[in-house]
Amino acid sequence: MQKDQLFTRRRMLLAGAAALGAAGTAGVVVASGGGEETHSAVPVAGPQARQALKPSAFRLQPFAADAPPRAAPRKLKARHEPILRISGRGRHMMLTFDDGPHPEYTPHILDTLAEYDVRAMFFVCGEMVVENKKLVARMADEGHVVGNHTWTHPLLTTLSREEIRGEMERTSDAIVNAYGERPQWFRAPYGAWNRAAFQLGAEMGMEPMAWTVDTTDWMTPGTDTIVDRVENGAAPGVVVLSHDAGGDRSQSVRAIRRYLPYLLESGYHLTVPPRRMS
Ligand SMILES: [Zn+2]
Protein backbone atom coordinates (compact mmCIF):
# COMPACT_ATOMS: atom_id res chain seq x y z
CA MET A 1 0.00 0.00 0.00
CA GLN A 2 2.81 2.37 0.83
CA LYS A 3 4.46 1.58 -2.44
CA ASP A 4 1.24 2.41 -4.26
CA GLN A 5 0.95 5.63 -2.37
CA LEU A 6 4.50 6.67 -3.17
CA PHE A 7 4.07 5.69 -6.79
CA THR A 8 0.95 7.75 -6.85
CA ARG A 9 2.52 10.75 -5.23
CA ARG A 10 5.16 10.82 -7.94
CA ARG A 11 2.45 10.64 -10.56
CA MET A 12 0.59 13.42 -8.88
CA LEU A 13 3.67 15.61 -8.81
CA LEU A 14 4.08 15.11 -12.52
CA ALA A 15 0.40 15.75 -13.12
CA GLY A 16 0.60 18.82 -10.91
CA ALA A 17 3.48 20.24 -12.90
CA ALA A 18 1.53 19.73 -16.10
CA ALA A 19 -1.59 21.30 -14.68
CA LEU A 20 0.22 24.37 -13.40
CA GLY A 21 0.77 25.36 -16.99
CA ALA A 22 -2.98 25.64 -17.41
CA ALA A 23 -3.53 27.61 -14.23
CA GLY A 24 -5.21 30.94 -14.35
CA THR A 25 -8.48 29.84 -15.83
CA ALA A 26 -11.56 30.72 -13.87
CA GLY A 27 -13.39 28.01 -12.05
CA VAL A 28 -12.74 24.89 -10.13
CA VAL A 29 -10.78 23.38 -12.91
CA VAL A 30 -7.14 23.42 -13.68
CA ALA A 31 -6.80 20.12 -15.46
CA SER A 32 -5.43 20.45 -18.95
CA GLY A 33 -5.27 17.71 -21.51
CA GLY A 34 -6.45 19.02 -24.82
CA GLY A 35 -9.92 19.94 -25.91
CA GLU A 36 -11.33 20.05 -22.44
CA GLU A 37 -13.97 22.51 -21.56
CA THR A 38 -13.42 24.94 -18.73
CA HIS A 39 -16.15 25.08 -16.15
CA SER A 40 -16.80 28.41 -14.55
CA ALA A 41 -17.45 26.73 -11.25
CA VAL A 42 -16.24 29.05 -8.59
CA PRO A 43 -16.42 27.37 -5.21
CA VAL A 44 -18.28 29.29 -2.61
CA ALA A 45 -17.79 29.79 1.08
CA GLY A 46 -20.42 28.97 3.61
CA PRO A 47 -24.07 28.15 3.42
CA GLN A 48 -25.27 31.64 2.53
CA ALA A 49 -23.06 31.86 -0.49
CA ARG A 50 -24.06 28.37 -1.50
CA GLN A 51 -27.69 29.32 -1.49
CA ALA A 52 -27.00 32.43 -3.49
CA LEU A 53 -25.36 30.51 -6.30
CA LYS A 54 -27.76 29.36 -8.96
CA PRO A 55 -27.37 25.73 -9.98
CA SER A 56 -26.89 26.82 -13.57
CA ALA A 57 -23.78 28.71 -12.57
CA PHE A 58 -22.19 25.43 -11.70
CA ARG A 59 -23.65 22.55 -13.63
CA LEU A 60 -24.04 22.60 -17.33
CA GLN A 61 -27.31 20.75 -17.48
CA PRO A 62 -30.45 22.45 -16.23
CA PHE A 63 -32.28 20.57 -13.56
CA ALA A 64 -35.88 19.93 -14.55
CA ALA A 65 -38.31 20.94 -11.84
CA ASP A 66 -40.15 17.66 -12.04
CA ALA A 67 -37.07 15.45 -12.21
CA PRO A 68 -36.82 13.11 -9.25
CA PRO A 69 -33.64 13.42 -7.20
CA ARG A 70 -32.58 9.95 -8.30
CA ALA A 71 -32.81 10.75 -11.99
CA ALA A 72 -30.12 9.31 -14.19
CA PRO A 73 -26.87 11.25 -13.92
CA ARG A 74 -26.16 13.80 -16.61
CA LYS A 75 -23.13 12.96 -18.67
CA LEU A 76 -20.00 15.04 -18.66
CA LYS A 77 -17.11 15.30 -21.03
CA ALA A 78 -14.34 12.97 -19.92
CA ARG A 79 -11.16 14.59 -18.71
CA HIS A 80 -7.60 13.41 -19.19
CA GLU A 81 -6.37 14.70 -15.85
CA PRO A 82 -8.02 15.03 -12.47
CA ILE A 83 -8.73 18.40 -10.91
CA LEU A 84 -5.87 19.23 -8.56
CA ARG A 85 -6.87 22.51 -7.02
CA ILE A 86 -9.68 24.99 -6.83
CA SER A 87 -9.57 28.52 -8.08
CA GLY A 88 -11.61 31.62 -7.85
CA ARG A 89 -11.08 34.92 -6.16
CA GLY A 90 -9.86 35.13 -2.62
CA ARG A 91 -8.11 32.83 -0.19
CA HIS A 92 -10.10 29.65 -0.73
CA MET A 93 -8.99 26.21 0.32
CA MET A 94 -10.80 22.90 0.49
CA LEU A 95 -10.49 20.10 3.03
CA THR A 96 -11.15 16.54 1.86
CA PHE A 97 -11.37 13.32 3.87
CA ASP A 98 -11.14 9.89 2.26
CA ASP A 99 -11.99 6.25 2.88
CA GLY A 100 -14.78 6.67 5.44
CA PRO A 101 -17.12 7.09 6.99
CA HIS A 102 -15.75 5.47 10.12
CA PRO A 103 -17.80 5.29 13.33
CA GLU A 104 -14.81 6.09 15.53
CA TYR A 105 -13.16 9.00 13.68
CA THR A 106 -15.64 10.61 11.33
CA PRO A 107 -17.94 11.96 14.08
CA HIS A 108 -15.03 13.84 15.67
CA ILE A 109 -14.07 15.40 12.37
CA LEU A 110 -17.70 16.37 11.75
CA ASP A 111 -17.88 17.86 15.25
CA THR A 112 -14.81 20.02 14.61
CA LEU A 113 -16.10 21.17 11.22
CA ALA A 114 -19.44 22.05 12.85
CA GLU A 115 -17.73 23.92 15.67
CA TYR A 116 -16.12 26.25 13.13
CA ASP A 117 -19.09 26.25 10.72
CA VAL A 118 -16.95 24.84 7.92
CA ARG A 119 -17.92 22.49 5.08
CA ALA A 120 -15.64 19.78 3.65
CA MET A 121 -15.68 17.02 1.05
CA PHE A 122 -15.81 13.36 2.05
CA PHE A 123 -14.81 10.76 -0.51
CA VAL A 124 -16.52 7.69 0.84
CA CYS A 125 -16.19 4.00 0.08
CA GLY A 126 -19.41 2.09 -0.62
CA GLU A 127 -18.61 -0.71 1.80
CA MET A 128 -18.20 1.89 4.56
CA VAL A 129 -21.34 3.77 3.52
CA VAL A 130 -23.62 0.76 3.94
CA GLU A 131 -22.23 0.18 7.43
CA ASN A 132 -22.48 3.84 8.45
CA LYS A 133 -25.49 5.27 6.68
CA LYS A 134 -26.33 7.60 9.54
CA LEU A 135 -22.95 9.28 9.28
CA VAL A 136 -23.50 9.86 5.57
CA ALA A 137 -26.92 11.34 6.33
CA ARG A 138 -25.27 13.58 8.90
CA MET A 139 -22.81 14.79 6.25
CA ALA A 140 -25.78 15.73 4.08
CA ASP A 141 -27.58 17.46 6.93
CA GLU A 142 -24.51 19.50 7.80
CA GLY A 143 -23.85 20.68 4.25
CA HIS A 144 -20.80 18.61 3.38
CA VAL A 145 -20.23 17.29 -0.12
CA VAL A 146 -19.91 13.53 -0.52
CA GLY A 147 -17.94 12.03 -3.37
CA ASN A 148 -17.44 8.51 -4.70
CA HIS A 149 -14.21 6.73 -3.69
CA THR A 150 -15.20 3.26 -5.06
CA TRP A 151 -16.66 0.35 -3.15
CA THR A 152 -13.59 -1.57 -1.92
CA HIS A 153 -10.77 0.93 -2.53
CA PRO A 154 -8.94 -1.10 -5.20
CA LEU A 155 -6.12 0.05 -7.43
CA LEU A 156 -8.26 0.84 -10.45
CA THR A 157 -5.37 0.43 -12.86
CA THR A 158 -5.42 -3.32 -12.13
CA LEU A 159 -9.14 -3.75 -12.88
CA SER A 160 -11.12 -4.30 -16.04
CA ARG A 161 -13.40 -1.57 -17.26
CA GLU A 162 -16.46 -3.50 -16.10
CA GLU A 163 -14.95 -4.04 -12.66
CA ILE A 164 -14.29 -0.33 -12.37
CA ARG A 165 -17.83 0.39 -13.48
CA GLY A 166 -19.19 -1.93 -10.79
CA GLU A 167 -17.05 -0.34 -8.07
CA MET A 168 -18.22 3.13 -9.03
CA GLU A 169 -21.88 2.45 -9.80
CA ARG A 170 -22.56 0.50 -6.63
CA THR A 171 -20.96 3.24 -4.58
CA SER A 172 -22.96 6.00 -6.24
CA ASP A 173 -26.15 4.05 -5.58
CA ALA A 174 -25.21 3.59 -1.91
CA ILE A 175 -24.48 7.32 -1.65
CA VAL A 176 -27.84 8.23 -3.19
CA ASN A 177 -29.49 5.91 -0.72
CA ALA A 178 -27.76 7.31 2.36
CA TYR A 179 -27.00 10.91 1.37
CA GLY A 180 -30.02 11.65 -0.79
CA GLU A 181 -28.12 13.02 -3.76
CA ARG A 182 -26.11 11.47 -6.53
CA PRO A 183 -22.41 12.21 -6.14
CA GLN A 184 -20.95 14.68 -8.62
CA TRP A 185 -17.33 13.99 -7.75
CA PHE A 186 -15.12 10.96 -7.54
CA ARG A 187 -11.58 10.26 -6.49
CA ALA A 188 -9.53 7.25 -7.56
CA PRO A 189 -8.02 5.26 -4.67
CA TYR A 190 -4.29 6.02 -4.29
CA GLY A 191 -4.81 8.77 -6.87
CA ALA A 192 -4.25 6.09 -9.52
CA TRP A 193 -6.38 7.29 -12.40
CA ASN A 194 -6.76 5.76 -15.81
CA ARG A 195 -8.74 6.49 -18.94
CA ALA A 196 -11.56 4.11 -18.02
CA ALA A 197 -11.99 5.82 -14.65
CA PHE A 198 -12.23 9.26 -16.29
CA GLN A 199 -14.66 8.01 -18.94
CA LEU A 200 -16.87 6.06 -16.54
CA GLY A 201 -16.90 8.92 -14.07
CA ALA A 202 -18.02 11.30 -16.81
CA GLU A 203 -20.74 8.85 -17.86
CA MET A 204 -21.97 8.81 -14.28
CA GLY A 205 -21.94 12.60 -14.03
CA MET A 206 -18.89 12.84 -11.80
CA GLU A 207 -15.82 15.04 -12.07
CA PRO A 208 -12.44 13.65 -10.97
CA MET A 209 -11.08 15.45 -7.91
CA ALA A 210 -7.50 14.91 -6.81
CA TRP A 211 -5.63 17.06 -4.29
CA THR A 212 -2.83 19.57 -3.96
CA VAL A 213 -1.43 18.83 -0.50
CA ASP A 214 -1.21 15.32 0.97
CA THR A 215 -1.13 15.50 4.76
CA THR A 216 0.48 12.02 4.73
CA ASP A 217 -1.81 11.14 7.61
CA TRP A 218 -2.14 7.67 6.04
CA MET A 219 1.43 7.05 7.29
CA THR A 220 0.47 8.14 10.85
CA PRO A 221 3.49 10.46 11.01
CA GLY A 222 2.32 12.18 14.19
CA THR A 223 -0.18 14.95 14.75
CA ASP A 224 2.50 17.66 14.57
CA THR A 225 3.59 16.53 11.12
CA ILE A 226 0.03 16.53 9.82
CA VAL A 227 -0.56 20.02 11.21
CA ASP A 228 2.72 21.24 9.70
CA ARG A 229 1.86 19.78 6.32
CA VAL A 230 -1.43 21.65 6.20
CA GLU A 231 -0.14 24.93 7.61
CA ASN A 232 2.99 24.98 5.44
CA GLY A 233 1.00 23.93 2.38
CA ALA A 234 -1.73 26.50 2.87
CA ALA A 235 -2.22 28.72 -0.19
CA PRO A 236 -5.13 29.94 -2.28
CA GLY A 237 -6.67 27.08 -4.26
CA VAL A 238 -5.13 24.27 -2.26
CA VAL A 239 -7.08 21.03 -1.84
CA VAL A 240 -5.96 19.14 1.27
CA LEU A 241 -6.05 15.34 1.44
CA SER A 242 -6.70 13.67 4.79
CA HIS A 243 -8.34 10.42 5.88
CA ASP A 244 -11.11 9.62 8.31
CA ALA A 245 -10.76 5.83 7.93
CA GLY A 246 -8.44 3.14 6.60
CA GLY A 247 -6.42 2.84 9.80
CA ASP A 248 -5.99 4.57 13.15
CA ARG A 249 -6.97 8.16 12.34
CA SER A 250 -6.77 9.64 15.82
CA GLN A 251 -3.86 11.80 14.64
CA SER A 252 -6.01 13.18 11.83
CA VAL A 253 -8.79 13.89 14.34
CA ARG A 254 -6.41 15.80 16.62
CA ALA A 255 -4.70 17.60 13.74
CA ILE A 256 -7.84 19.24 12.33
CA ARG A 257 -8.58 20.71 15.77
CA ARG A 258 -5.31 22.61 15.42
CA TYR A 259 -4.97 23.49 11.75
CA LEU A 260 -8.59 24.47 11.15
CA PRO A 261 -8.59 27.47 13.54
CA TYR A 262 -5.14 28.38 12.20
CA LEU A 263 -6.40 28.46 8.60
CA LEU A 264 -9.43 30.53 9.55
CA GLU A 265 -7.34 32.97 11.54
CA SER A 266 -5.04 33.24 8.53
CA GLY A 267 -7.96 34.45 6.47
CA TYR A 268 -8.72 31.30 4.48
CA HIS A 269 -12.24 30.41 3.47
CA LEU A 270 -12.81 26.68 3.52
CA THR A 271 -15.09 25.89 0.62
CA VAL A 272 -16.79 23.03 -1.15
CA PRO A 273 -18.35 22.82 -4.59
CA PRO A 274 -22.01 23.77 -4.48
CA ARG A 275 -24.44 20.91 -4.20
CA ARG A 276 -27.01 20.53 -6.91
CA MET A 277 -30.36 21.90 -5.88
CA SER A 278 -33.64 20.91 -7.38
ZN1 LIG B 1 -8.43 6.35 -0.32
Q: Residue 240, SS3?
A: strand
Classify residue 197: in a domain, yes or no: yes
Residue-number span of the structural domain to which 259 is assigned: 91-273
CATH number for 156: 3.20.20.370
Residue range 8-26: mean pLDDT, rounded: 38
Number of H helices, E strands in the chain: 9, 9
Q: Which of 19-28, 198-207, 256-265 has the lowest mean pLDDT?
A: 19-28
**Longest distance between any two alpha carbons in the chain, whole Å:** 50
User: DSSP code of 83?
Assistant: B
Specify the pTM.
0.77
Classify residue 37: in a domain, yes or no: no
At 14, the amino acid letter reads L
Classify residue 172: in a domain, yes or no: yes
Among 98, 214, 217, 244, which one carries the catalytic annotation?
Answer: 98
User: DSSP code of 66?
Assistant: T
263 CA to centre of ligand 1 in angstroms? 24
Residue 60: CB atoms within 10 A of its CB come to 13
Answer yes or no: is pLDDT of 64 > 90: no
Classify residue 15: in a domain, yes or no: no
Q: How many domains does the chain have?
A: 1
269 catalytic per annotation: no
53 CA to centre of ligand 1 in angstroms? 30
pLDDT digits (tens, 9 = 90+) for 215-238: 999 999 999 999 999 999 999 999
Q: Compute and round to an integer the Cα radius of gyration of the chain.
A: 17
167 CA to centre of ligand 1 in angstroms? 13
pLDDT tier for residue 22 given thresholds of 50, 70 and 90? very low
Classify residue 262: in a domain, yes or no: yes
Classify residue 129: in a domain, yes or no: yes
pLDDT digits (tens, 9 = 90+) for 71-96: 677 889 999 999 999 987 889 999 99
Classify residue 66: in a domain, yes or no: no
**Where do the H-state alpha helices sit in 180-275?**
195-203, 223-233, 250-265
Nearest to 11 by CA among 108, 101, 82: 82
Answer yes or no: is pLDDT of 67 > 60: no
66 catalytic per annotation: no
Classify residue 76: in a domain, yes or no: no
Among 99, 243, 244, 269, which one carries the catalytic annotation?
Answer: 243
97 CA to centre of ligand 1 in angstroms? 9
189 CA to centre of ligand 1 in angstroms? 5
The predicted pLDDT at position 227 comes to: 98
The predicted pLDDT at position 278 comes to: 36
